[in-house]
Structure 1
Amino acid sequence: MLIDSHCHLDRLKAAPDQDSLKTLLTQAKERGVEYFLCVNVRQQGFASMQAKMAAFDQVFLSAGVHPLDVQEGLDTAQLQSYLQDPKVVAIGETGLDYYYSGETKTLQQQCFEQQIALAVEVDKPLIVHTRDAREDTIAMLKAGNADKVGGVLHCFTENWEMAKAAIDLGFYISVSGIVTFKNAGELRSVIRKVPKDRLLVETDAPYLAPVPHRGEENQPAFVRDVAEFVAELRGEKYEELAEYSGDNFFRLFKDAAKLVKA
């Protein structure tokens, strides 16, 4: 079962309304993609995202504040209210990004700490964005007892040492279309090492379209291209990777598994 474990369906230019989104999700299903996790990045944008996804049972949600959007503030009480929706299966996208916004480092850390604490409080996994912040990301996850809930380092682009540290904390590693890029040699070596029971695949749509779709707006159907590339990279059959990565998704996002079983 192939799952797009991280996408921003509410940001797709090709799907400005529910009808066009339905078309894109149907196209993805035709390529074997059964479920999708639509990830929140701006607290102020959650309500519109929630409304747009309400008609699609195959789409799960997260709630959180991205490190590049921390200037807009974090209201943990409001964030917690979003969790009343059973489709909200994770906290995030949160984390640290010193590459693009090093000047907000302190504020990023504060918001990350708060969202880790909320995740532990409500027993939901974390969706973590990290760039040029390896040591601080792992240190804060450890300090916040994030191992109690686990989570995923999404769109992973870091080294094996960071991947191993995250895996040791009970986290998963999610690979995006970046792995198909020509300059992704180090990332490919990391993805070859990730254990089967800790690997997820994603698009991060509408961003980072994989080869052979470079230059296009990324779409959830393209997770098939990512999965096929990763399977070949790891010397596995596509069907095997689709099955175990799907199992991993529902093991991590246990509230999503409950909805499917219901």
Structure 2
Amino acid sequence: MIRLAANLSMMFTEHDFLDRFSAAAKAGFRGVEYLFPYDFPASELRARLDDQGLTQVLFNLPPGDWEAGERGLAGLPGREQAFRDGLERALEYAQALDCPRVHAMAGLLPDNADPATRDAYLKTYIDNLSYAAERCGQDGRTLLIEPINGRDMPGYLLQHQVLAREVIRRVGSPHLRLQFDLYHCQIMQGDLMRTLEQQFAQVGHVQIAGVPERHEPDQGELNIGALLEHLDAQGYDGWVGCEYRPRAGTVAGLGWARPYGIIAGHAEETP
């Protein structure tokens, strides 16, 4: 059975962030995810979840200096302590929010990185993930990695599914799994159904969006109904994060989600 989670960083932006929890619940979502929780006290986020009967399904570790262009620390040589400090902060939030999984962003390679530099970044990445996966396991959490397409995020260290599978193999921890985003995978390689089958045992979370514009998943190249049916047929019992930017109002674009229990049209668009 497909369970949809609203990504509150991208959806329901008609509302202030803390009001998006109630908007998502009113639309029929039972789970939520977002990029980062750290601008708000964990107690306030916990209260919003509890008030609306929502499950927190995912958020990211601190990404470094986002305003300065950093997109994760896990693969950056020399930033190991900052990565570990961010991991501990994320685990504190995960415990408070009862969130079972956290995503570690890999970070960006330098412009025109040569093979030796790439190898150094990849070694740092694997070393940091090995530490973080063990630490997450101690806390009863799962660590996720996600290939992100190079069009939206040029220079991102982890762009391809085959490298993600190799990284997971090399780390060798049951606490490290794959965040499989259909949007990113379609842009980088396509062949979504077979790619899903190849690595299904490693998948810990799924995200969706339309290609190429990252709007509603029924807009563009993807046959989202067939893909979700295939995911369900594989026996997937996790959440599917709706990480897309609505073309207009969030609720107005939720018609595609009615078969999965979302009551489009029954929530207000205005704050």
TM-score in terms of structure 1 length: 0.52
How far did residue 172 of structure 1 move?
A: 2.3
1:78-157, aligned counterparts within 5 Å?
96=73, 105-106=79-80, 108-112=82-86, 114-115=88-89, 125-132=100-107, 134-143=122-131, 145-146=134-135, 147-148=137-138, 149-157=140-148
Q: Which residue identity does 2:79 align to in structure 1?
A: K
Q: Which residue identity does 2:83 align to in structure 1?
A: Q
Contact 1:46–1:63 (CA under 8 A) maintained in structure 2: no
In 2: Cα distance, 1:43 partner to 1:20 partner: 16
Contact 1:4–1:36 (CA under 8 A) maintained in structure 2: yes
In 1: Cα distance, 2:186 partner to 2:94 partner: 35
Q: How many residues of Structure 1 are paired with residues of Structure 2 in the alignment?
A: 204
Bigger Rg over Cα: 2
Distance 1:229 1:177, change over 3 A: farther
In 2: Cα distance, 1:166 partner to 1:230 partner: 29
Q: Which residue identity does 2:54 align to in structure 1?
A: Q
Q: Which residue identity does 2:167 align to in structure 1?
A: M
1:189-200, aligned counterparts within 5 Å?
191-196=196-201, 198-200=203-205
Aligned partner of 1:170 among 171, 175, 194: 175
How far did residue 151 of structure 1 move?
A: 0.9
**Structure 2 unmatched ranges of 5 or more:** 108-120, 149-157, 242-271
How far did residue 50 of structure 1 move?
A: 4.0
Q: Which residue identity does 1:245 align to in structure 2?
A: D
How far did residue 137 of structure 1 move?
A: 3.4
Give the % identical residues. 11
Superposed CA RMSD:
4.9
1:180-219, aligned counterparts within 5 Å?
181-185=186-190, 191-196=196-201, 198-203=203-208, 209-211=209-211, 214-216=213-215
SS of residue in 1 equivalent to 2:104: strand
Aligned partner of 2:238 among 232, 235, 246: 246
Distance 1:175 1:107, change over 3 A: same
How far did residue 161 of structure 1 move?
A: 0.5
Could you say which residue in structure 1 is the equivalent of 2:53?
Answer: 57
Name whichever structure is richer in helix by fraction.
1
Distance 1:68 1:131, change over 3 A: same
How far did residue 228 of structure 1 move?
A: 4.5
Could you say which residue in structure 1 is the equivalent of 2:36?
Answer: 41
How far did residue 168 of structure 1 move?
A: 3.8
Q: Which residue identity does 1:127 align to in structure 2?
A: V
Could you say which residue in structure 2 is the equivalent of 1:86?
Answer: none
Q: Which residue identity does 1:108 align to in structure 2?
A: A
Contact 1:197–1:248 (CA under 8 A) maintained in structure 2: no
Q: In the TM superposition, what whole-angstrom CA distance separates every residue of 1:58-84 from its partner, at most 9, and x where no partner exists?
A: 33266775123589xxxxxxxxxxxxx
Contact 1:176–1:226 (CA under 8 A) maintained in structure 2: no
TM-score in terms of structure 2 length: 0.51
Q: Which residue identity does 1:55 align to in structure 2?
A: D
Q: In the TM superposition, what whole-angstrom CA distance separates every residue of 1:185-240 from its partner, at most 9, and x where no partner exists?
A: 5988754421346442125xxxxx4327x254x69x99xx7964655xxxx73432
In 1: Cα distance, 2:54 partner to 2:85 partner: 29
Contact 1:6–1:202 (CA under 8 A) maintained in structure 2: no
Q: Which residue identity does 1:131 align to in structure 2?
A: A
Could you say which residue in structure 2 is the equivalent of 1:8?
Answer: 8
SS of residue in 2 equivalent to 1:55: helix
SS of residue in 2 equivalent to 1:66: coil
